[in-house]
Amino acid sequence: MRTTLLSFLFLLILFPVLCHEAKAGKGNMEGDILTLINRYRAKYGLQAMKMNNTISDAAWRHSKDMANGSIPFGHDGFDERTNKLIKQLSPADAAAENVAYGAETAQEVVDMWLHSKGHRKNIMGNYNLTGIGIAVSRDGTYYFTQIFIHKR
């Protein structure tokens, strides 16, 4: 009984640390995705987008909710999420979102998006701010969300 209680307390203390490290550890992949997307945009004379922490937090929350199954894969809550961001980042006037799952590298997810007409349209859109969030499900599947914002 005592061993079980100690194990439970250890996990209770360690769990938030592991979650934080998992989120922080993907920061490099998020940056790699942005680099690849900005390179693609540059080929067509489009300005580079800048990473924004407020947008990235919203993107990560959406990826986390998909990864843990609290919402289905897709764009549930898009209007609420992006309307809130537009207000927070005012003056901003447009938003879009790409989601994906199953890729394991930045190149894979960017390739998936670029081979989809709708996702590519978002990548090529008139946006100057972005946020990227990545979460991993219990079975190890990566979930990606990229939110695009145009700030005036």
Contact yes or no for 95/149 (Cβ under 8 A): yes
As a whole number of Å, the CA-based R_g of the chain is 17
Strands 142-151 and 50-51, bridge-based pairing: unpaired
Task: Give the residue among 150, 118, 148, 125 at the shortest CA–CA distance from 33.
Answer: 148
Query: Cα–Cα–Cα angle for 50, 55, 61, nearest 5°?
Result: 140
Residue 90: give the domain boundaries.
31-40+48-151
Domain of 120, CATH number, reads: 3.40.33.10
**pLDDT tens by residue, 123-140:** 999 999 999 999 999 999
Our count of domains for the chain comes to 1
Residue 133, domain member (yes or no) = yes
Residue 78, domain member (yes or no) = yes
Residue 9, domain member (yes or no) = no
Residue 6, pLDDT score: 37
Count of residues making up the chain: 152
**pLDDT tens by residue, 23-71:** 434 559 999 999 999 999 999 999 999 999 999 999 999 999 999 999 9
pTM, whole model, 2 decimals?
0.82
Residue 142, domain member (yes or no) = yes
Strands 50-51 and 129-136, bridge-based pairing: parallel
